[in-house]
Every structure is written in structure tokens, then in C-alpha cells.
Amino acid sequence: MNEICVVFYEGWQMECCGMPFAVGDNVKWLVLKETQLNSPVDVGRVDYCYEAHSSAWEELFVLEGRVEKIDILYQNYEPSKDNPRYLVPVGGKLMPAEKTNDLEEDCDGMRATGYVVRLSGVTVRPAKKEEVTFR
């Protein structure tokens, strides 16, 4: 059992089929060990990323824990120099929150793109095929 674990929960995953959560909630999430974020904002260490759409059940883990802290990641975007039709994040900030919504409001002209969630009392185990129902 880990004392503290950090999960990045992408905003589009919440908008699509996520369940809002709040500080103090106990959660059970499917996660990936992938922790690379495309963000100019230093979000600190990330241990896992929430995943509700991968069909590769063998790569998923079941994470359970208690939500201790939520920061909403806000970012602003500009067209990529390589491909102007592709937007890339160029700045942003973290804002503390007590709970999530399925659609966060913009802040200072920036879009909410995800949540950096700190959890305590975490257990992690490999997912079982029957637990991944969105294949």
C-alpha cells in the first residue's frame, strides 16, 4: 500500500463518461502506468493516468484510494509551428478544487484539460479482463 499516489485524469475522459469526485471520496479507477503529459505546466510527479477507453486490458491496473487533493490543470493553446491545424499547449496553471464537474468552466481564457489528483491509502493491482467493460 502506497502512502500517496498521484493520478492525472484527463478532462475529456471526465466529459465523456467520468463520474465526478471530491476531496474525501474513495475511488476505484482503471489506470495506466503511462505518466508523460504534454504540458508546459510543471504538475510534479504523476504515477498513473486514468483510463476509461483502452481495450488493452492487460496494460490496465485497478487503483483504489481516498482523494486528498485535486488541482485542475488549465492550459492555453496556439497553433503548432509544424502544423497550424494542430493546437499545442503553451502555458497554463494549476488551480485547487474541492470537487470535479463533468464540464469545468474556463479560467482566465484557459481551458480545463484535466485533474492532478493526490490519493492516500492506495492499492494497485493488475486489472482482470472482466473488469474492463469498455472494450
Q: Residue 132 corresponds to which amino acid?
A: V
Place of cell 476531496: 23
- Model confidence, pTM: 0.90
Strands 26-32, 87-97: pairing is unpaired
What ranges in the chain are assigned the alpha helix state H?
11-17
Please state the domain extents for the chain: 2-126
At residue 134, the pLDDT reads: 63
Q: What would the grid cell of residue 44 be?
A: 510534479
Q: How far is residue 133 from each of residues 8, 19, 56, 64, 129, measured CA to CA in Å?
A: 21, 16, 11, 18, 8
pLDDT, one tens digit for every residue, the chain (135 residues): 557 899 999 998 888 888 899 999 999 999 999 777 889 999 999 999 999 887 788 889 999 999 999 999 999 999 999 999 999 999 999 999 999 987 788 888 899 999 999 999 999 999 888 887 764
Q: CB burial class (10 A; 0-12, 13-18, 19+) of residue 109?
A: exposed
At residue 110, the pLDDT reads: 92
Whole-number Å distance between alpha carbons of 111 and 14:
14
Q: What would the grid cell of residue 56 be?
A: 488493452
Q: What share of the chain is helix, strand, coil (3-state, %, to 5)?
A: 10, 50, 40
Q: How many residues does the chain have?
A: 135
At residue 1, the pLDDT reads: 52
